[in-house]
């Protein structure tokens, strides 16, 4: 059900771990729904993301999207990182099964949450960044059978 | 498929026994006649169906004309619920079941609720055993049916069927049991246990898929499932699945002959898994009752990790297992069974079910425990929940 790229990022996740004294940390998702992502950002004085690490509790797609998201933001400026959308993450993974699309949303949200934390810590405003939702499942409605 | 994998998902389905395949073959290639036909090829097919019906009946202490062949467990469950409520509508519209039934029961009950029936879902204790006092309290004058599974498919808990049967009888309520996981795995006597209806499925005990049966005690009114021909005493029309019927009977015969021997072998394997995992993997819990459980079932929850990841990593090591996590159920909610026994959502997401067969070996169990230990540790090392736990506990 997963593409080769998803399986690769699940089996060999890039940038797993924590960053001590990170510039920004964001945690999104909820354990009730079975996925939580935490992103750590190390941002230099020029606003460039030097490093990004993650920890994820979740399914194969949740791990793979976190891993891919870290790869996509490392080396980018804050504004460029904001352009890393869930679509970009999905495309980079050659797609996700429909039921797993929310994992890519979670990855996007995790980056935003970490950037939000960075902005809060430094008392700055990042153009185009809104306060992230703590739970991406808030608006989702489950489909009924029958 | 080559046997280069360790198959530990026998509650999902089993390998069709070679003797079963062998018994079925002549009914594809030689005696392929329609059992309803008059000539010899039809007659021999009919004889095979009759023999199969007698054999199945004998394994339950039932009569042959009380056995109805179906397309499997879900069909039997659907049939019982939908057709009984219709036949007994004059008595009432109330059904009692448990919170941990298979979806074939639960979703059918939800369907009936939309049609105006009332369903009481009786809870279970933390081991997954139905609360008998709650069950008895739920019985009303308009209750027409109690449906409680014989043994649970996820956590393997065996229900107090004899007590429920006696209770149903005392109150004059029909009693159905979904015995898909239990039939041919443990002794069942429909008379001693006061079971009025029982559904079973062939592929859970080394029979073929797509065949099952429903036992309906003589005298019980139940509407026909399929209208058409006279097959199955007019209650389920359609040309008999002769090969499947021959197959399920052969599988039942083989299973019942060696019931105790097989249980003992399976228990040796599951005891090994339970003991080692309990001792060697921190922050885990065995789900279900330690004693009152199917001999082939192991179900653990591992804190701080998610089940689908665990399954994929086990699969990469050639181990087939299953989980009650949301990701494996196609919804956001983890297993209703694990929630019913009181597990919090995040712990229910991290469950693992291993169901053995007597063909498994201790060496395979050893490899499985080693793999589980390694994978759980790896997933915890990437889990923010574990990180928080370690921080909070130094």
Cα–Cα nearest to B25, from B243, B254, B253: B243
Taking the model in full, what pTM does it have? 0.93
- What percent of chain A is helix, strand and coil (3-state, nearest 5)? 40, 20, 40
Query: What's the rounded mean pLDDT across residues B17-40?
Result: 95
Residue A77, strand partner residues: A48
CATH 3.90.1010.10 is held by the domain A4-121: yes
Domain ranges within chain A, ordered by starting residue: 4-121
Query: What's the rounded mean pLDDT across residues B25-30?
Result: 96
- Assigned token pair, B97: 């079941």
CA distances from B368 to B268, B307, B351, B371 (A): 15, 15, 15, 5
Cβ within 8 Å, pair B332-A18: no
Which of A25, A78, A89, A103 is the catalytic position? Answer: A103
Q: Tell me: the pLDDT tens digits for B47-84?
A: 999 999 999 999 999 999 999 999 999 999 999 999 99
**Cα–Cα distance, B97 to B109 (Å, whole number):** 9
- Assigned token pair, B183: 């039939």
Cβ-contact B327, B307 below 8 angstroms: yes
Considering only CB atoms, which chain B residues are within 8 Å of A38?
Answer: 384, 387
pLDDT of residue A24: 97
Residues in chain A: 146
Which of A7, A33, A88, A126 is the catalytic position? Answer: A33
pLDDT of residue B326: 63
Query: What's the rounded mean pLDDT across residues B144-158?
Result: 97
Q: Tell me: the pLDDT tens digits for A15-37?
A: 999 999 999 999 999 877 789 99
**Cα–Cα distance, B282 to B322 (Å, whole number):** 20
A interface test, pick of B109, B114, B306 with most A CB neighbours within 10 Å? B306
Cβ-contact B198, B190 below 8 angstroms: yes
Query: What's the rounded mean pLDDT across residues B298-317?
Result: 95
Query: What's the rounded mean pLDDT across residues A43-63?
Result: 96
- A52 belongs to the catalytic site: no
């Amino acid at each position: 059900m997963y593409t080769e790229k998803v399986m690769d990022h699940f089996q060999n996740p890039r940038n797993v771990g924590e960053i001590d004294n990170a510039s920004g940390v964001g945690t999104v998702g909820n354990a009730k729904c079975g996925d939580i992502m935490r992103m750590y950002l190390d941002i230099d004085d020029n606003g460039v993301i030097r490093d990004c690490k993650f920890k994820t509790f979740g399914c194969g797609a949740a791990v793979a999207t976190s891993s891919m998201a870290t790869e996509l933001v490392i080396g980018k400026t804050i504004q460029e990182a904001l352009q890393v959308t869930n679509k970009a993450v999905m495309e980079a993974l050659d797609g996700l099964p429909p039921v797993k699309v929310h994992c890519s949303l979670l990855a996007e949200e995790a980056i935003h949450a970490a950037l939000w934390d960075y902005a809060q810590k430094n008392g700055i405003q990042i153009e185009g960044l809104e306060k992230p939702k703590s739970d991406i499942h808030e608006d989702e409605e489950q489909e009924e059978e029958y | 498929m080559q046997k280069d994998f360790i198959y530990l998902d026998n509650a999902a389905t089993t390998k069709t026994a070679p003797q079963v395949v062998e018994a079925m073959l002549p009914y594809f290639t030689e005696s392929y006649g329609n059992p309803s036909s008059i000539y010899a090829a039809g007659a021999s097919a009919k004889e095979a169906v009759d023999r199969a019906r007698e054999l199945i009946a004998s394994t339950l202490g039932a009569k042959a004309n009380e056995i109805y062949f179906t397309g499997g467990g879900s069909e039997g469950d659907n049939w019982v619920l939908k057709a009984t409520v219709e036949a007994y509508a004059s008595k009432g519209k109330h059904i009692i079941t448990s919170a941990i039934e298979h979806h074939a029961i639960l979703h059918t009950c939800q369907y009936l609720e939309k049609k105006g029936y009332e369903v009481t879902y009786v809870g279970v204790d933390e081991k997954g055993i139905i609360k008998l006092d709650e069950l008895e309290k739920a019985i009303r004058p308009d209750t027409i049916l109690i449906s409680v599974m014989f043994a649970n498919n996820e956590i393997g808990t065996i229900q107090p069927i004899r007590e429920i049967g006696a209770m149903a009888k005392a109150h004059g309520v029909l009693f159905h049991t979904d015995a898909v996981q239990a039939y041919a795995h443990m002794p069942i006597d429909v008379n001693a246990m006061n079971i009025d209806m029982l559904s079973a499925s062939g592929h859970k005990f080394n029979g073929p898929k797509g065949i099952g049966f429903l036992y309906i005690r003589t005298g019980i009114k139940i509407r026909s499932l399929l209208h058409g021909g006279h097959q199955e005493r007019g209650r389920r029309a359609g040309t008999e699945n002769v090969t499947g019927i021959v197959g399920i009977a052969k599988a039942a015969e083989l299973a019942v002959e060696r019931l105790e021997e097989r249980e003992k072998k399976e228990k040796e394997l599951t005891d090994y898994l339970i003991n080692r995992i309990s001792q060697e993997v921190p922050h885990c819990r065995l789900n279900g009752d330690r004693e009152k459980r199917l001999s082939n079932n192991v179900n653990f929850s591992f804190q701080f990790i998610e089940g689908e990841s665990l399954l994929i990593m086990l699969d990469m090591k050639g181990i087939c297992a299953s989980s009650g996590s949301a990701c494996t159920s196609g919804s956001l909610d983890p297993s209703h069974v694990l929630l019913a026994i009181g597990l919090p959502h995040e712990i229910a997401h991290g469950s693992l079910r291993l169901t053995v067969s007597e063909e498994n070996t201790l060496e395979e169990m050893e490899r499985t425990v080693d793999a589980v230990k390694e994978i759980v540790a790896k997933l915890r090392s990437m889990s923010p929940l574990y990180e928080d736990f370690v921080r909070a506990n130094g």
